[in-house]
Amino acid sequence: MRTVLRSGFFVIPLLAVLASAPAGAPPPGTPVQSPEQIASAGRVITSSMMLDHVKALSADDKEGRAPGTVGEERTVGYLVGQFKRLGLTPGNPDGTYVQAVPLIGFTGKATAAFDVKGVHMPLTVPDEAVVVSRQGLPDVSVGKAPMVFVGYGAVAPEFEWDDFQGVDVRGKAIVMLAGDPPVADPANPSALDPKVFKGTALTYYGRWTYKYETAAKKGAAAAIIVHETGPAGYAFDVVKASWGRENFGVAGPDEAAKHAPVDAWVTLDRAKALFTACGLDFDALKARAATRGFKPVPLGATASFAVKNTIRSMSSRNVIGRLEGRDPVLKHESVMYSAHWDGFGVNRALQGDQVLNGALDNGSGMATMLAMAEAFTRLEGGTKRSMLFFAPTAEESVMLGAKYYAEHPLWPLEETLADINMDIMNFWGRTKAIVSIGYGMTTLEDVLVTEAAKQGRIVLPDPEAEKGYFYRSDHFELAKQGVPALHFLHPGAEYRDKPQDYGQRMRDRYTAEDYHKVSDDLKADWDLSGAVEDAQLLFGVGLAVAQGSAYPEWKPGTEFRAVRAARLKAK
Ligand SMILES: [Zn+2]
């Protein structure tokens, strides 16, 4: 059955049979809410309401909302206070509005070397290799692990692709290329095949997180990615800078098993030198790795690493509120909205303003979520399924709060129909289109298209799909566990009464001047009229799913479809 949902406007015969109708409930087949009732709840959302939330959440007293600081206390306090004011119930079944997230911060010092045919090749850390151990242990070493080249390190059944064919890499140091396998289109060999790894768009398989996770699952002793600026998406200096400072992880006894002892990047030059010393042609093997017939190649070399970590424990919190559904059978199912609360805190090294207020990133996302929560509380008749309003911590540290929730869910993930994530919204005016990051992946988007059409708007694909933004915010952690997700990141396009390039100019200006800086603060030229329309739209999407008959699903050929199917089957 094709699962196209329409607006929350009809009751499903099956449901009506299953549900024992509570007193006063409409008879089977009666619409739950009229379009006017839905529109009326949507009109609760206003610019001034959203602006008030952004002002409060990005005020200097929130100190940039860094996890584990007084900024966390005040931010969590604000969100919980708002959830209570709106009459949401605690989103944690323990009766609270929070989920404790145990974290560690670790700073490492490392050494690295290859040995080939009696020749010792030490690597300078971090100029030639960046090396970390995420297992939460103070001392980790890998001694002379045999090295195997595994192409792009991808195991993608939907593309009939397996870079680990016929090889057991347990205890070995695996060497992987950055990005997705660039598979040539048989019809046009100078272009990429859109049917395999989505052509030029980046998939999950191209992200470093995937490669390291796969290495851990396969039992590798070390996972080494060969850095190349094009496919990685950034220069080696960026890897050095971001991995060289304190890194964060989830704390806990089962964490060590989720990581290979060593995760590393090596420069292209050093990788080529290694392959040459092994008597292998790097470029020829790289070309072979872009074909389906590729098989892993033992290098005849070994890799050795030693990492010493300074570790500190810290505790943070996810915040979650719930609006319980009214249908006795369906209320245990949920529709989730998410927007991370954390930011970059205070930078004491700066002269003048030191607070990274995070007004757009992600005060705007939280404001949108709070505004929608208010609309749901004012919706006559309520929803059949329950609504979850989820503000994870530590998104800026590889989505650790969302990852923790996805691995320790408070509400069953197989009964969570959707996650609608917001991370930096459009504060630059009304638009004729909304951009769905990860366009074409789920049937949730069909709902989005239907709802957008009611506003006279259209849905457009991500103009920068090669950057893989779908894999870089909280919903992705839920998607990895199978939950169908939509993601909105400065989603405005085709601004009304503005030049064609206006949106791109505003986005580029924000990225260059304000993103992750003290100047991501309130702006005199903001226009929240588009953000209000977007909030009303996403309210409509969540409502349609909460009232609808069909379960949103991943479309064929997407990375998360098999996981979802397995979870629903096990249910
Ligand atoms: Zn963000």
Give residue for tokens 């800086």. 517
Q: What is the model's pLDDT at position 31?
A: 52
Distance 476 CA to ligand 1 centre (A): 13
Q: What is the model's pLDDT at position 244?
A: 77
Distance 407 CA to ligand 1 centre (A): 21
Contact 412, 479 (CB under 8 A): no
**Start-end of H helices in 169-245:** 208-217, 229-232, 236-244
Distance 470 CA to ligand 1 centre (A): 12
Distance 159 CA to ligand 1 centre (A): 31
Distance 126 CA to ligand 1 centre (A): 27
Strand, coil or helix: 215: helix
Distance 235 CA to ligand 1 centre (A): 22
Looking at beta carbons, which pairs linking 212-218 to residues 24 or more positions away fall under 8 Å? 212/134, 212/259, 212/260, 212/263, 213/258, 214/153, 214/154, 214/155, 215/153, 215/169, 215/174, 215/176, 215/260, 215/263, 216/257, 216/258, 216/259, 216/260, 218/164, 218/169, 218/170, 218/174
Distance 341 CA to ligand 1 centre (A): 8
Distance 30 CA to ligand 1 centre (A): 41
Report how far Cα 53 is from the mean position of its chain's Cα atoms.
23
CA-nearest of 455, 431, 435 to 445 is: 435
Q: What is the DSSP letter of 361?
A: I
Q: What is the model's pLDDT at position 540?
A: 97
d(CA 227, CA 250): 26
Contact 541, 377 (CB under 8 A): no
Distance 83 CA to ligand 1 centre (A): 21
Contact 329, 415 (CB under 8 A): no
pLDDT in tens, the chain (571 residues): 333 333 333 333 333 333 344 444 544 444 589 999 999 999 999 999 999 999 999 999 999 999 989 999 999 999 999 999 999 999 999 999 999 999 998 989 999 999 999 999 999 999 999 999 999 999 999 999 999 999 999 999 889 999 999 999 999 999 999 999 999 999 998 999 998 998 888 889 999 999 999 999 999 999 999 999 888 777 888 888 778 778 889 998 888 889 999 999 999 999 999 999 999 999 999 999 999 999 999 999 999 999 999 999 999 999 999 999 999 999 999 999 999 999 989 888 889 989 999 999 999 999 999 999 999 999 999 999 999 999 999 998 889 999 999 999 999 999 999 999 999 999 999 999 999 999 999 999 999 999 999 999 999 999 888 888 898 899 999 999 999 999 999 999 999 999 999 999 999 899 888 888 899 999 999 999 999 999 999 999 999 999 999 899 999 988 899 999 999 998 7
Contact 412, 478 (CB under 8 A): no
Question: Which pair of structure tokens corresponds to residue 195?
Answer: 């049917």
Distance 202 CA to ligand 1 centre (A): 19
Contact 333, 18 (CB under 8 A): no
Distance 438 CA to ligand 1 centre (A): 16
Question: Which pair of structure tokens corresponds to residue 80?
Answer: 């919980």
Distance 99 CA to ligand 1 centre (A): 20
Distance 32 CA to ligand 1 centre (A): 35
Q: What is the model's pLDDT at position 8?
A: 35
Distance 309 CA to ligand 1 centre (A): 28
Burial profile 529-561: b = 16 or more Cβ within 10 angstroms, e = fewer: bbbbbbbbbbbbbbbbbbbbebbbbbeeebbbb
Question: Which pair of structure tokens corresponds to residue 154?
Answer: 């991808």
Distance 227 CA to ligand 1 centre (A): 25
Distance 550 CA to ligand 1 centre (A): 30
Distance 394 CA to ligand 1 centre (A): 10
CA-nearest of 300, 309, 298, 302 to 259 is: 309
d(CA 344, CA 519): 12
- pTM score: 0.85
Distance 565 CA to ligand 1 centre (A): 30
Cβ neighbours of residue 505 closer than 8 Å, sequence gap 6 or more: none
Distance 510 CA to ligand 1 centre (A): 13
Question: Which pair of structure tokens corresponds to residue 520?
Answer: 């991501």
* C-alpha dihedral sign at 49, 50, 52, 57: positive
Q: What is the model's pLDDT at position 238?
A: 80
CA-nearest of 52, 2, 28 to 532 is: 52
